[in-house]
Amino acid sequence: MSARLCWRTEWQLGTALSRSLEKISVGLIGEGISASRTPAMHEAEGAAHGIDYNYRLIDMVEKSPVDLGALLAEIEAEGFAGVNVTHPFKQQVLCHVTERAPEVERVGACNTVLFEAGGRRAHNTDYLGFLHGFRTELGAVPHDLVLLLGAGGAGRAVGLALAEAGVADLRIHDSNEAAADRLAGDVRRLFPKIRAASIEPSMLAELTPDGIVNATPVGMAAHPGMPIDRCLLENRPWVADIVYFPLETELLEAARGLGCITMSGRGMAVMQAVKAFELFTGVAADPDRMAETFDSFDSRGHAR
């Protein structure tokens, strides 16, 4: 089986929807998502297509424990077309779907669920979103050896996208060592020519990667801070962060201060939203227009 994901075919399968475009309701389930720019991107794109498009934030912060199955059933009963799913539910949600798109089987996480007549179908648009952003912004910089922070739902998508982008040696650090080991094993299985391994905290100081990617929630508005000591950013050519609210995370600010090239979560956020919109509606989205909406917010996530 080829390690490369056939995105065009999979999107065509996923967007074969038979629902009215007169009014569509969708949402985002996560924790600490009040600053998300996703609703604005989706609703503006829906308006451009003449769709009465409602995107609701379903923030479960401080509502633990969350009965995700019951929540999905409630939302589906309200007539939603589907939901996006973010931290910390990207893997948990797989217990509550009927069918998984091929990219979900490979990544092992889901960020988009469609409510269809035959059941719930899981998709993952994070992979393509990060891959597009990385190739556009960092494709020309050295990336033979890369340190990936995080092996959860987003980390799995990012790790496989880095392998697809041509990283030769991927080191993965996560507080859950078993999750890091699993991701490393999956990268090796799907991309046999790539070296991938988990790395313990005690070894981080000895590693000299070309770049570092943060795929943990650390840095989000609800999880402030840095996922790695500032001293470990020294002499690293580039640093990327998938967090986009705020867009300017402490990690990126520190890295830029040390002279590193940086990549924010903008590219991933826009492209995953583009593909999610197409799945929800069956209508091709305009990436440039959705990017303009994203950029209408300041670096802290407030509309200008």
Residues annotated catalytic, as ranges: 90
List, in order, residues 6 or more apart from 267 with CB less than 8 Å away.
129, 130, 132, 133, 134, 136, 137
Please list, in sequence order, all residues whose beta carbon lies within 8 angstroms of the beta carbon of residue 92, skipping any fewer than 6 positions away: 68
What's the angle, vertex CA 17, arms to CA 13 and CA 22, rounded to 5? 150
Residue 181 corresponds to which tokens in the numbers above? 């080991």
Are the C-beta atoms of 63 and 33 separated by less than 8 Å?
A: no
93: helix, strand or coil = helix
- Helices (runs of H) and strands (runs of E) counted in the chain: 10, 12
Burial of 67 (0-12, 13-18, 19+ CB in 10 A): exposed
Alpha carbon distance 92, 83 (integer Å): 14
Q: In 3-state terms, what secondary structure has residue 283?
A: coil
Rg (CA), the chain: 18
CA distance 99 to 147: 32
Q: Which residues contact 238 (CB under 8 A, 6 or more apart)?
A: 138, 141, 210, 211, 212, 260, 261, 262, 263
